[in-house]
Amino acid sequence: MYENIDALAVVRSTSPDEPITLLRPHAATRAARFFVEKFQGKSLYAVKANPSPALLELLWDAGITHYDVASLGEVRLVNKFLPDAKLCFMHPVKSERAIAQAYHNHGVRTFSLDSHEELQKIVRATKGATDLELCVRIRVSSEHAKLSLASKFGADPSEVADLLVATRQVADALGICFHVGSQAMSPAAFAEAMGHVRAAIVKASVTVDIVDVGGGFPSVYPGMEPPDLESYFDVIHTMFEDLPISYSAELWCEPGRALCAEYASLLVRVEKRRGRELYINDGAYGSLFDAAHVGWRFPVTLLRSNTAIGTQMAEFSFYGPTCDDMDYMAGPFILPDDIKAGDYIEVGMLGAYGCAMRTEFNGFGETETIIVEDAPMATLYGDVRDNDAVHRPMRTSTSHQ
């Protein structure tokens, strides 16, 4: 473990043969404090974005007390490291065994659903429990998002009213939730979705206790520069205040990418150059899954101390280290035109999904982890107090990397 250094210092001191994950705990803490201070509701960290125990504990210490879990494995993980956290099982399709174990063994009381069949499973698995918080997920558009989440989950508008009425009959607290898609580039995504929430409540004539606006809060990437996050919060809160809901209703959100994208980056070495193609030692089966499979453009920088000012820049694509032709990242990634084998590149904003999607295919995938204290390549968090003013509950588990 190395501390108090930046990415270039890592290259100078180690000249690593293998990829290195660079962690910035201060960036994750800053993002969490931003949501705790500025979102006028409860923020649930979407664990799937990065399930690192160290990150979970960082977010807890920064004031995030609720966690969006999508599997029994995530339930067990968070419960192990944060036994006092509130777990919300927000996957709309679960096995009865998973529901039962979450409820009876891990104290989960919050579940989402998008069908009558799922509602019946929850009732059976919890043995008719009367202390359930049940959130009906409705289908909304992902047209403002870079990655759609509109096709797999969500009750159809024609089914929502009946499902809300049925759920209200067995729920201690009734919620409505939705997801506008990943990396929503406009607050209009949430305004339009909240319009659907209003229509559903009016049609069903039920008392709603929770409105969960899901995730989709963006981070900054090349070609993706969203408005400031407070503009999203303002739209959400204004729409929430205008809903016909219980006077004590709670507003929730489920940030994943927004809380952890700036937490980590990746240090890779160029093993070969072929024209505008660079062969690097991580790729599609490692931390760069999204760069390969959904064409995500991550920020990159050449870590070389003697690059001359005014050096010409060029567009490059990457090949990863495996023997698979699919291990290819089209980019384009903008780097100095004189880059060569043996040079090191930092790939930024990989705290979200990069670490979570990594495999060991073809014998690759192991990375060392180093803590650095320099700034992430981009940020949306420029106005958060860097002090201990945010109340944080005492953590009862020990830190793991």
Please say whether the beta carbons of 274 and 386 come within 8 A. Answer: no
Q: Which residue has the tokens 């800053």?
A: 30
Is 323 assigned a catalytic role? yes
What tokens were used for 56? 């979970």
Catalytic one of 88, 135, 323, 355: 323
**Cα–chain center distance at 79:** 19
Cα(351)–Cα(353) distance, rounded to whole angstroms?
6
Question: Of 346, 342, 347, 344, which Cα lies nearest the Cα of 272?
Answer: 342
Provide the residue count of the chain: 401
Please say whether the beta carbons of 80 and 106 come within 8 A. Answer: no
Query: Which residues participate in catalysis according to the annotation?
Result: 323
